[in-house]
Every structure is written in structure tokens, then in C-alpha cells.
Structure 1
């Protein structure tokens, strides 16, 4: 009788032991999770610390060249250099706002002997180029003894040459590419491809010709003629500004305004440039100084940092989408 009683007592204790083991296991898991969270927080703090060190170091490196430039600029007279690099457009480094800001700073600086526009650009927006051209002409009236020279490096074509034409004199290397005085508006047509793929285009507009540059609809001869007329008017404006800037120095030739591009030596013969020279040589020969100070507009360090980290990607995509919606990607370009 006693033996069964002992067996029952042992069997009653086993569930308690199991419960204890389960609680210990749960406690261990919770402690492990808590420890992992602490380690994660520590690593998070560490990486944030590294990021801020990187951030402040980058800002310091961005500031150093500017401070050095300002210190050099106050020591003696010099030639003010303004870079015109890349595509000329509102959202690029070579925008009218950036170039005009640099020009105004140079004209306001009493230590500057003149401006050298150092150009390396395939062209771009006729509007942006026109803004810069007009501002150079206006600034020249405020300080008539302040020369403006343009030096074309590898490429000074179309809208870039438009800007150069406002300078007192234009120089280039013998192998530079100069000219391309023309206007282009290009795009693609996908009508046949859509038919083969079985894709239906649905576009809703208000205005008879609102979608006339749409690449997914057949080209209309009337709208094509209209668009070519727009390009011709823009080309005529371009030609008039080049003639105003260069005057009698231009050689009369039917190919001069055809959109062709020439080497520096050929451009000299055509009257598109005044000589073969570099920025440093021009500063010595024309301004009597060895010192060149870069007045090119530099973006705010925070602005530049955000751009490098990719925060402007969304804005760029949105801009491109709007351009495609409004003009079918065929806005006229001076190229």
C-alpha cells in the first residue's frame, strides 16, 4: 500500500520540475534578447558617432578651400576665373544663376583686373545662355575698363559659344572644338512598336495641340512644321546675338551658322575666336598678372553634402517626368 503512494508522490513532482525548466528557459531567452538589444544600441551609438565625425570632417574640408581663396584674394591684384563646365541648364553647375552670381562678384571686386570665362561645355538651354549673355553686356556698362575674356578648353559649342560671344575676346587651343551655332529638338517615336506589342495609348488633353510632341502618337505634318518654325526662330535669335558680339570679325560663310563645329585653328580663320591661348597665358599677356583666383560659384556645404548623399534624386526624377509630360522630352537645345 505504501509503494503506490510513493509512486504517486513522484509523479506529482514532475510537472513542477517541467514548469521550472520552462520558466528558466523563458528567462534565459528574455535575458539573451535584452542583451542583444543592448549590443544593438551600443553599435547604433557607435555608428552615429562615426557618421557625425565624417559629417563634420567633410564640412571642414569643404570650408578650407573657400577660406584659403578669400585670404589669397585680398593680397594682390589678379585675374578672376569663372568656370563654365558641363551642360548649361537651370539644374546644373553651369546654370545662369551660378554663372551670373560669380560674374557679379568678380565685377564688384576691386582687386580683380578682369574676368576669364574658362569654358568646357557642349551647350544646353538657349534661355540660360541668353541670361548670361545679357548679364555680361549689362555688367560691361557698369565697369567699362574691366575686360571679359573667354577661353575655350576642349569644347565650346552651341550655348557655350553663345555665352562666349558676349566676351570682349575669345581664345582657344588649336585642337579645341568651337562653334555648332544651331538648335536641335530631338525625340523618339514608338507608334509601330506599341502596335506590335499590343499596347494602347490613352492620353487626355485640353487643347487641340497640347500633346503634339507625344512620342506614342503618330506625327502630324502640321505640328511638325510648327515645331520646326519654333527651332528656326530660336536659331535666328542665336545668330543675331553672335553677330552682335563678334561683329566684323566673323568671316562671311554659308556654313558659319549651319551647326558645324571647327577646330581652334579653323575657328580662328572663321573669325569665331581671336587667337590661340590658355587662361594663364592670357592673364599674363592681357592683364599683366600671374595670379588667377577662381570665382566660380560654390554651393553651400550643406547643400552639397545632401546632394552627395542622394537626397536630390527624387527631385531630379520628378523634374524629368514633368519635362516628359509637358514637352515630350524635345525642348530645344543649343547643341
Structure 2
């Protein structure tokens, strides 16, 4: 039989099933001949394809086995990929004139809070895979702060990837991910926030409660308002909140529809997918909640709350 199957969040079909086999393992027969499970087994398990792991191979070289599984999974996943149908909404405000939109856009794009996004992926390597394994905690504590200084707030998964990259590692598996992630708590002054897109790490110089900037996404960079596909780099809700606050400040108030459209544009979204709109509304609700208080809904418009003088 089949032992387990693999799929990603959002996939309705299982791309790949895996069977474990070996000498006397679970008394599985027939013995290993290098073949994959037959088509009837694959269909019965509602999987597109299947592969097999010979346990002596696993004991000898688990990384190579994982690479083989990953390669089979990517091929199977691509084969079942279907075009995603989504509702899209034009970002432009149909009720505003071109002149008003241009003036407002110029004011926002020239804001001192709207700053370039700086890339940390080109930092120099600090050593080899063996160096990282030999001195794990020391290596992570040395590599991560430089990345945080450039890209924070940064998704935790991206920080893990960029730390590994500085030691020549391009492909990560769960055990290494967890060992690197466990060392982040050793970094002095690091802070962590969480939202519906994951965990984000902050440098000592950029606190989630005092940082007011938001960053323009370079063309072609995978930063996005919602992780729509593998490899997308989501944006922390605090950064999205900062953009919303700045728009309200410049406009002296904004309706929710206008605020969401302009925020989407600032982060490179010329059309508003329903999943992105849902995320922006969630951030707006959070930013205007009593617990956060960055924005205040006054009638039909969002305003910046007056300072508490008590």
C-alpha cells in the first residue's frame, strides 16, 4: 500500500503518494525492484503520481532521498496545476477625476515614509554548509542581524532561507529549517509578530510599535500583499498599516474603498483580487481596532485619532 501523500495548502488533489519499503519493512511484498506503486493503488488513493523510498537508501543518504521525492512532487504538482479563477476589481477609483488622482498620487509617492525596499539576498557568503553545521548558533547569530538590518520586518521563512544562502545552501528541508529557526531567539533585540500570513521578525532598530515606514516593491520582486503562490514573500500587516495611515494623513481622511485601492497601488497591485482585498480589509479592521488604534472610523471616513492628552 501507500504510506503517505503530499500536497500544499490550497490544493484539492494530492499530487504525490509515497511508499516506504525495505528488507522485511512492515512485511511489504513484493520486494524492492525499483518500481513505483501501480496505477490502481495511485487512483485508489486519489493521487496523481507516486514514488517509492527504499529504506536502506534513506539510511545511507536521506538528503538525496528527499531531493528525489521533491523532484517527483514538483513534476506531479505542475501536472495537476489548474488556472485559478478569481474576482478582480480595477484599482482605479471611478468617482475621482484624473487630476485628483494624479495630485493625490504625487503626494503619496513623495511621502518621506514611502521608502525603497532594500534586498538582502546579495550579501556575501560567510562560509560553507560544513561551517554552519559545525557552529550552528554562532553562525546564525552572525548572519541573521545583517539581513534583519536590511529587510526587517521579514517573514521568518525568508530569514531562514537567506541565512542558509549565506552558507551556500539553496535547498532546505524541515530539520535544517527548524534548527536555524531555533537560533533566532539568541539574537539580541529581535522581535516577532504574527498574522494570518505567518511570522515576521524585526530588528532592534525597527520596532513594530514605532516603525512608520512602508516600502515600494521593486519590479519583479516576489513581495506581495497575499502569498498567492509558492515563493511569494508576504508583507507584514504593520507595514500595510503604515501605508494606510500615511494615505489617511495626506488625504485628511479616506473612505474604506478608496483607502484599500490606494494601498493596493502602493504595493504594486494594479488589479484587486478578492483574496488581496480580503487581506487589506482585515488589516484595516485590525489597524482601527481599539487595541491598536492607528486609525479611527469617524462616520464613513477613516481618520487619524487625536493624541490622548490624559
TM-score normalised to the size of structure 1?
Answer: 0.21
From the two aligned structures, give the one with the greater helix fraction: 1
**Structure possessing the higher radius of gyration over alpha carbons:** 1
Larger strand fraction of residues: 2
Q: Which has the higher contact order (CA 8 A, sep 6+)?
A: 1
